[in-house]
Amino acid sequence: KEYKGPSYEKTEQLKADHFPPAVYNIYKRPLLLHQGHMQWLYDHENKKYLDLFAGIVTVSVGHCHPKVVAALQNQINILWHTTNIYKQPKIYEYIEKLVSKFPGDLKVVYLVNSGSEANDLAILLAKAYTGNNDIISLQSSYHGYSTGLMALTASQSYRMPMPVPPGFYHTPLADPFRGYWGGWRDSISQVPGASCSTTGQDCDSADKYIHQLNEVLETSIPAGRLAAMFAESIQGVNGTVQFPKGYIRKAQQLVKKYGGLFVSDEVQTGFGRTGDHFWGFQGHGIMPDIVTMAKGIGNGFPMAAVVTTKEIAAAHAKAAYFNTFGGNPMASAVGSAVLDVIEEEQLQNNCKEVGKYFIEQLQQLQKHHPVIGDVRGKGLMLGIELVVPGTKTALPVTDVSEILEITKDNGVLFGRGGRWGNVLRIKPPMCINKENVDLAVDVLDKAIKQHLTAKSK
Ligand code: PMP
């Protein structure tokens, strides 16, 4: 289709005049997107890009997936409405399907509008159920943006220099690449024949990070006041940090001992993305008390959810709950179609197969480029950490930006994250194939070479 929007220059002007300056773009010359189809995006000049970031892990089944588009179009012609005051059929069809994806007693669904809203509600539920106020999360985590969530999110880049609400604590990040204790993470098991004894990794690191968690629980949080711990299954915004094997399971056990609930933030890791399981927490062998999800749930349509047990939801019934748009007919129709597509097109399995291939190709690439310090992740939730060769020092942001700009100009869109902005994030629509992987790895290979050659001149 022909692009008919404002000119590129006009959008730059409007952005400068009317966008909040705190909003950032990945690229020096940001993309002006025009259309999308499955794993492909097209800019205003109809140049085609392989999308490896999916609007930050949001487009799960593919841009403008025809089945999801049809579900939305059908609904738009029938009923637009709110949720709480009357009943509408789509929400019932949807919650039945969504809940069938959960193990155990996770049976009550709150439908909301964004990941931030979901985590905000999860805080409320945990406090209501336990009667306690204190919440713990991992350092460098991102769990959403609001004046309250700024306390849960432990990432300096997203924290304004102002007091945050009391009762939030953070425990050192269990990061096998950069963390104090290193660690043996699951991805290493993707290397044939490797085990913690053969990789030189610390087999007991999970226990050491757990010891640190215990110290925070014992020293900083008043006795008996813990409401919950929040954690992702793989930390997303901070550059795809995979925890050492056993960490999440042990953390949940410890938190339970201290009277707290465990909240799994599946905003990025849910809906089959990690390949082995539908939910990331299943890869850790745990049963959370509350699960929050967003992004991929709607393939780009604004919607999110909190799933919990009947017992926990009952504690929230002390006051009425209202949410104008949560679970509206359009969102319910879209969410339902997304679940159908994941199943019909076996996208979870695709994440597993293509993800394994992707990580193998990146490990090969790493052998040729010492600037690649670490390759990690699971399924189609991958990270490439760029470093100053021979060290673990983060590659300076200016170099990372140059490399990203070259990959973009050559038609591949990587994401970016990490505490120093030096991790390339790969979280594409879950429909990508091995041919796409070959293209991405080739473009990255050439971009690194081109940048290093230009720099050495
Ligand atoms: N949790 C995680 C893990 C996220 O990555 C994000 C968004 N990046 C959120 C919560 C917040 O979601 P939203 O932007 O939809 O509010």
Q: Which position has the higher pLDDT, 22 or 98?
A: 98
- Nearest-CA residue for ligand 1 atom 1 is 143
Distance of CA 143 from the midpoint of ligand 1 (Å): 5
Distance of CA 266 from the midpoint of ligand 1 (Å): 9
Q: What is the pLDDT of residue 186?
A: 64
Residue positions counted in the chain: 457
d(CA 169, CA 217): 9
Atom of ligand 1 nearest to the CA of 119: 10
Over range 39-49, report the average pLDDT.
97
Q: What is the pLDDT of residue 24?
A: 82
ipTM of the complex: 0.99
CA 445 to chain CA mean position, Å: 25
- Nearest-CA residue for ligand 1 atom 10 is 143
Atom of ligand 1 nearest to the CA of 235: 3
33 lines ligand 1 (CB under 6 A): no
Helix (H, G, I), strand (E, B) or coil at 61: coil
Sign for the CA dihedral angle at 214, 206, 253, 256 comes to: positive
* Beta-carbon contacts of residue 193 (< 8 Å; ≥ 6 apart): none
Residue 305 has pLDDT above 90, yes or no: yes
For the segment 334-381, what is each residue's pLDDT rounded down to a tens digit?
A: 999 999 999 999 999 999 999 999 999 999 999 999 999 999 999 999
Q: What is the pLDDT of residue 185?
A: 76
Helix (H, G, I), strand (E, B) or coil at 321: coil
Q: What is the pLDDT of residue 26?
A: 86
Q: Best substitution site from 142, 291, 416 to test ligand 1's pocket, by max atoms within 8 Å of Cβ?
A: 142
Q: How far apart are the first and last CA of the chain?
A: 42
114 lines ligand 1 (CB under 6 A): yes
Q: What is the pLDDT of residue 28?
A: 87
Q: Report the percentage of the chain scoring pLDDT > 90.
A: 88
Q: How far is CA 5 from CA 2, 8, 49, 257, in A?
A: 9, 9, 19, 57
Q: Best substitution site from 295, 423, 427 to test ligand 1's pocket, by max atoms within 8 Å of Cβ?
A: 295
Residue 187 has pLDDT above 70, yes or no: no
For the segment 139-184, what is each residue's pLDDT rounded down to a tens digit?
A: 999 999 999 999 999 998 899 999 999 999 999 999 999 888 877 7
Structure tokens at 2: 């022909």
Q: Beta 226-232 vs 261-265: how paired, if at all?
A: parallel
Distance of CA 116 from the midpoint of ligand 1 (Å): 6
Residue 189 has pLDDT above 60, yes or no: no
For the segment 406-415, what is each residue's pLDDT rounded down to a tens digit?
A: 999 999 999 9
**Confidence class of residue 221 from pLDDT cuts 50, 70 and 90?**
very high
